[in-house]
Amino acid sequence: MEIQITTHSRFDKEWEKFCNKHTEGKKALEQLKRLLKKQFDDSSPDVIGPKSIWRVPHTGDINIWKVICAIKGLKKKQSPRIYLAKHHKNIITFLCFNSHIQNYKNGELRAIAIKRAKEIINFYKSE
């Protein structure tokens, strides 16, 4: 079963705004999508190291992950952290992101990710 990647509508708008400042962002996101398809394919070995992707704790029964999106010209600590949900066995949905450049708070971003994940999961259930 092939992994499908979708995005929350607000993620798209936020990422577009981010890419206005960081022109390599669109290319980096496409590369990340390819890596995530391999990462979450049960028949492939992990391709992203554990220091770059990890499961987000305290999200209840929602399977939320956080991954670093490496962008050319940014240091690893400056690169955006993307929250994504893996649901319905083969769907990955990008929910939200931020970087240490904006000095984000983990708890606030996790709350946004959980809220958006619930919206997406409920949308797929209603189809």
Domains and CATH numbers, the chain: 1-7+25-97 (3.30.2310)
Strands (E), 1-127: 4-7, 53-55, 64-68, 81-87, 91-98
pLDDT of residue 112: 96
pLDDT of residue 118: 95
pLDDT of residue 46: 92
pLDDT at 101 over 80: no
pLDDT in tens, 34-53: 999 999 998 889 999 999 99
How much is the mean pLDDT over the chain?
Answer: 93
pLDDT of residue 17: 94
Is residue 99 within 8 A of residue 19, CB to CB? The reply is no
pLDDT of residue 37: 96
Given pLDDT bands bounded at 50, 70 and 90, which one contains residue 9?
very high
pLDDT at 125 over 90: no
Place of tokens 């220091």: 51
Strand partners, 92: 5, 86
Bridge pairing between strands 81-87 and 91-98: antiparallel
Rounded to two decimals, the pTM is 0.93
Is residue 56 within 8 A of residue 113, CB to CB? The reply is yes
Between residues 12 and 127, the one the model is more confident about = 12
Measure the CA–CA gap between 91 and 85, rounded to whole angstroms. 8
